[in-house]
């Protein structure tokens, strides 16, 4: 990709995605430190190594119009989609000021009314939920060219919910990007104990949907594929199954040393952030100075978001209304 062939809009998106990758990596490094220092309430599951995939999806989605169900390794996608950094730090630090008010934590945070559902732990469940959001809009005649996206890992493809959801979305021809990040291990379970097809992308044909495959460490390739898939979905071509391959550069969670990942596999893998930095410079999209500035700005933003959240209160059990139903002041 040469600089002169890239439209200003595409270049802006590349910049946006790259910034989200850097900010996400900076934030996740900080979260890892905070976890090790015992400052985090609950578990920490990071997306290191999968930022290119995640950020490129978040970049092609339009907040306020599209809907996006991220999973546990989607900090970069969340950031690219427009999630407030304070939502992240407030949740991880267990503050009542966060979007979940301490009632749920960390990767489970979301703002459903702003197009980002709050994930449950049961894998595959978000696919039909996103389908329903789009279905309701279409029913009202308000779908226009909005799309939805939901992300999964290789392990989630084994669930009934994933199958049911993708089949339903295909039957309804809904504009959904179904992103499967194959990082070769579901927690510790390798692909050959997870599925027996040669490549998950071959499932696209079985579902009657368009399939795309991409090297998840190649940021610009990810941007291309996400852009194509989003355009195709917006044009009414139904679900787009994307399989992106990239090893995660961390454990399943920060409690996990990932010793089950063979050393030779680790040695072969590359860090998408390093790849993206080279791509930005080689194509003249950003200079090394500009990249350094982005990193510095990210550090400042993360430090500030952590500092603000640290000063805020934790939930008070005496102030929670302990109501699981929204209807109040009635017989109920």
* Residue 148 beta carbon to another protein: minimum distance, rounded to whole angstroms: 9
Minimum Å gap between C-beta 137 and another protein is: 6
User: Closest approach of Cβ 107 to another protein, in Å?
Assistant: 13
Q: How far is the CB of 20 from another protein (least distance, A)?
A: 23
Closer to another protein by Cβ: residue 263 or 324: 324
The nearest distance, CB 214 to another protein, in angstroms, is 26
d(CA 276, CA 55): 11
When the beta carbons of 63 and 101 are compared against another protein, the nearer one is 101
Nearer to another protein, 168 or 258 (CB): 168
Cβ-based nearer residue to another protein, 42 or 190? 42
Chain positions contacting another protein, by CB under 8 A: 99-101, 103-104, 108, 110-113, 117-118, 120-122, 125-137, 139-140, 160-161, 164-165, 167-168, 171, 323-327, 330-332
CB closer to another protein, 192 vs 321: 321
Shortest distance (Å) from residue 163 CB to another protein = 8
> Shortest Cβ distance from residue 131 to another protein (Å)?
5
Closer residue to another protein, CB minimum distance, 131 or 181? 131
CB of 294 to another protein, least distance (A): 32
| Sheet of 210-215, strand order | 67-69, 148-153, 176-182, 240-245, 210-215
Which residue, 148 or 216, has its beta carbon nearer to another protein?
Answer: 148
To another protein, the closest distance from the beta carbon of 244 in angstroms equals 23
Compute the distance between CA of residue 52 and CA of residue 77 in angstroms, rounded to an integer. 9
- Alpha-carbon Rg for the chain, nearest whole angstrom, is 20
Pick the closer one to another protein by CB: 263 or 327.
Answer: 327
Cβ proximity to another protein, 69 vs 276, nearer residue: 69
Rounded to 5 degrees, φ, ψ at 153 are: -100, 180
SS3 per residue for the chain: CCHHHCCHHHHHHHHHHHHHHHHHHHHHHHHHHHHHCCCCCCCCCCCCCCHHHHHHHHHHCCCCCCEEECCCCCHHHHHHHCCCHHHHHHHHCCCCCCCCCCCCCHHHCCEHHHCECCCCCCCCHHHHHHHHHHHHHHHCCCCCCCCEEEEEECHHHHCHHHHHHHHHHHHCCCCEEEEEEECCEECCEEHHHCCCCCCHHHHHHHHCCEEEEEECCCHHHHHHHHHHHHHHHHCCCCCEEEEEECCCCCCCCCCCCCCCCCHHHHHHCCCHHHHHHHHHHHCCCCCHHHHHHHHHHHHHHHHHHHHHHHCCCCCCCCCCCCCCCCCCCCCC
**With contact defined as beta carbons under 8 Å apart, do 238 and 249 qualify?**
no
């Amino acid at each position: 990709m040469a600089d002169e062939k890239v439209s200003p809009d595409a270049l802006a998106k590349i910049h946006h995605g790259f910034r989200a990758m850097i900010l996400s990596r900076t934030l996740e490094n900080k979260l890892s430190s905070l976890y090790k220092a015992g400052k985090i309430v609950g578990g920490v599951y990071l997306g290191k190594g999968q930022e290119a995939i995640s950020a490129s999806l978040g970049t092609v989605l339009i907040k306020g119009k599209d809907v996006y169900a991220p999973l546990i390794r989607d900090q970069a996608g969340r950031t690219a989609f427009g999630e407030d950094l304070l939502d992240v730090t407030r949740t991880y630090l267990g503050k009542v000021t966060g979007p979940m008010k301490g009632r749920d934590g960390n990767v489970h945070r979301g703002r459903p009314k702003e197009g980002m559902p709050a994930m449950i732990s049961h894998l595959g469940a978000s696919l039909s939920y996103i389908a329903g959001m789009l279905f309701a809009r279409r029913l009202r005649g308000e779908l226009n060219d909005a799309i939805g996206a939901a992300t999964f890992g290789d392990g989630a493809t084994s669930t009934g919910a994933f199958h049911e959801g993708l089949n339903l979305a295909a039957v309804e021809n809904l504009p959904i990007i179904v992103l499967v990040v194959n990082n070769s291990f579901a927690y510790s379970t390798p692909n050959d104990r997870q599925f027996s097809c040669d490549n998950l992308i071959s499932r696209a044909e079985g579902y009657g949907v368009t399939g795309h495959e991409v090297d998840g460490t190649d940021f610009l390739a990810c941007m291309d594929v996400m852009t194509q898939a989003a355009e195709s979905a917006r044009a009414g071509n139904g679900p787009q199954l994307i399989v992106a391959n990239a090893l995660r550069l961390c454990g399943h969670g920060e409690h996990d040393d990932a010793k089950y990942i063979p050393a030779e596999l680790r040695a072969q893998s590359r860090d998408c952030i390093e790849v993206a930095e080279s791509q930005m410079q080689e194509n003249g999209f950003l200079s090394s100075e500009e990249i350094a500035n982005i990193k510095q700005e990210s550090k400042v933003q993360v430090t500030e978001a952590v500092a603000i959240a640290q000063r805020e209160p934790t939930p008070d059990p005496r102030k929670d209304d302990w109501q699981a139903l929204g209807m109040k002041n009635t017989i109920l």
